[in-house]
Each structure stands twice: as structure tokens, then as C-alpha cells.
């Protein structure tokens, strides 16, 4: 599989509200099922590009560092016990978010897609082979803004595990080779604006660094 797996990605599937610390901070109940949303493939950028653009319609956008899971072969209606057999590898991802838009849309029951799907809203790293990452269920996810640490947690604190996310999503749609599942972001997400420098990583395995610029 090419390191530039995203060139043939057909779906980006995101999981919202998927870290235990977020539930503690918001005093919210655990969701009965994963909270799933979609991002268009036109939102993908790689580390070959160095700029995340803030659309004119947003005053600021939120950073959300995440572990991404890359599907290796077609699967449908798989069980959690089977799910990891369909993983090709992993990546570091940012789920950039127009949070003001989503905070307005959410109480009205409106879709999130415009707040999640703008150009440059899904930066991704190279493909990380499973053996290089180690245990995907216990990897550090961190993010810095202007060299200040903002997010720092481990995937051991996911509410729904990788295998549960794959199994749940595959009940509703076929997952295909190079589809990307974003597993959720730790507590600490917040806004970035023109001129900020955003850096994130999965432990010491892979890092990404982007400049934030107005459109």
C-alpha cells in the first residue's frame, strides 16, 4: 500500500465525543453508540503541504488531533472480534472544525458537514504500519499550539475502541480499502487563527506541523 494512501481514500468517517475525559469535563452520559459523521475527501491534505486555511466564513477553527485508522480490505457487518483483521495501518490526523458553525447547528438538529468538511480540514501523516505503531489501543495523542501543549491523552481512554468503531460503522455501510476512520480527539481542543503554528503527534512515532493562515 502506498504511503500516500489518502490519494485513493473514498470515505472519511469521524467519531465524535470519544474520550472519557470529555465526558467527565462536560458531565455527560456515555453515548449508547458511537457518534459518527463524515468529511469529504476534498478536505484531505498531507504533510507535503504546510498550511491549514481558515475559511472566510469562520473567524477561527478548532484543532482536534486524532489517531486515524486505515482500512486495508473491503468489509461489511464485521464483529468487533474480526474488525482488526481489516486494518491496513494507521496515521496521525487533524480534524479541523468550524466550531462556531457546529455549536449553532447542533441544538437545531442540523448537519455538521459544513463545519467539518472545508478545504484543508483533514491533514494526515504518512501511513504507519501496524508493527511500527505497536498497540493502537494505547498510543499517546498530543497537540501543541505555538509550542504550548494543549492536548495529551492515550487511546486507552477511548470510549469506543477501534474494533468497536469499525464493527459499528460496517453494520451500516461497506468499508473499502484506504477508507479512513478518525477515532476522536482528546479533551483540550480549541481555536487557532491566522499566524498560529499547530504541531501534533502520536507519541514519538510521527509528528506533523502546520501554519494556520486566513483564506
Structural domains for the chain: 5-214 (3.90.850.10)
Count of other CB atoms within 10 angstroms of residue 1: 13
Percent of the chain with pLDDT over 90: 88
Confidence of residue 51 (pLDDT cuts 50, 70, 90): very high
pLDDT 10s digits, 115-154: 999 999 999 999 999 999 999 999 999 999 999 999 999 9
Task: Please check whether residue 77 is in contact with residue 171, taking contact to mean a CB–CB distance below 8 angstroms.
Answer: yes
| Dihedral pair phi/psi, residue 208, rounded to 5° | -135, 150
CA distance 120 to 70: 19
pLDDT at 176: 97
How far is it, in rounded angstroms, from Cα 35 to Cα 100? 19
User: Which pLDDT value is given to residue 3?
Assistant: 53
* End-to-end Cα spacing for the chain: 33
User: What pLDDT is recorded for position 172?
Assistant: 98
The closest alpha carbon to 145, from 209, 87, 204, belongs to 209
Task: Write the burial class of residue 128 (CB in 10 Å: 0-12 exposed, 13-18 middle, 19+ buried).
Answer: buried
Q: What is the mean pLDDT of residues 68-80?
A: 97
Residues 90-119, mean pLDDT to the nearest whole number: 93
C-alpha radius of gyration, the chain, whole number: 16
d(CA 118, CA 114): 7
CA 203 to CA 215: how far, in whole Å?
31
Own/partner pairs for 203-207, CB < 8 Å, 24+ apart? 203/139, 203/140, 203/142, 205/128, 205/132, 205/133, 205/139, 206/91, 206/92, 206/125, 206/126, 206/128, 207/92
pLDDT of residue 75: 97
Residues composing the chain: 215
Write the CB contacts of 169 (distance below 8 Å, at least 6 apart in sequence): 13, 34, 36, 175, 181
> Would you put residue 157 in left (φ > 0), alpha (ψ -120 to 50) or beta?
alpha
Amino acid at each position: 500500500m502506498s504511503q500516500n494512501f489518502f490519494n485513493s481514500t473514498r470515505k472519511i468517517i469521524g467519531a465524535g465525543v470519544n474520550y472519557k475525559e470529555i465526558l467527565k469535563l462536560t458531565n455527560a452520559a456515555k453515548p449508547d453508540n458511537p457518534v459518527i459523521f463524515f468529511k469529504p475527501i476534498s478536505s484531505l491534505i498531507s504533510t507535503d503541504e504546510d498550511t491549514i486555511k481558515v475559511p472566510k466564513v469562520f473567524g477561527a477553527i478548532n484543532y482536534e488531533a486524532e489517531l486515524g485508522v486505515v482500512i486495508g480490505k473491503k468489509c461489511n457487518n464485521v464483529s468487533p472480534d474480526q474488525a482488526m483483521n481489516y486494518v491496513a495501518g494507521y496515521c496521525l490526523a487533524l480534524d479541523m472544525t468550524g466550531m462556531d458553525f457546529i455549536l449553532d447547528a447542533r441544538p437545531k438538529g442540523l448537519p455538521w458537514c459544513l463545519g467539518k468538511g472545508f478545504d484543508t480540514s483533514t491533514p494526515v501523516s504518512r501511513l504507519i504500519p501496524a508493527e511500527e505503531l505497536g498497540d493502537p489501543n494505547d498510543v499517546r495523542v498530543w497537540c501543541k499550539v505555538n509550542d504550548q501543549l494543549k492536548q495529551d491523552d492515550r487511546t486507552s481512554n477511548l470510549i469506543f475502541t477501534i474494533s468497536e468503531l469499525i464493527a459499528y460503522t460496517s453494520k451500516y455501510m461497506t468499508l473499502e480499502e484506504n477508507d479512513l476512520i478518525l477515532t476522536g480527539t482528546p479533551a483540550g481542543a480549541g481555536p487557532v487563527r491566522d499566524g498560529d503554528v499547530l504541531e501534533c503527534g502520536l507519541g514519538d512515532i510521527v509528528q506533523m506541523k502546520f501554519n494556520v493562515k486566513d483564506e
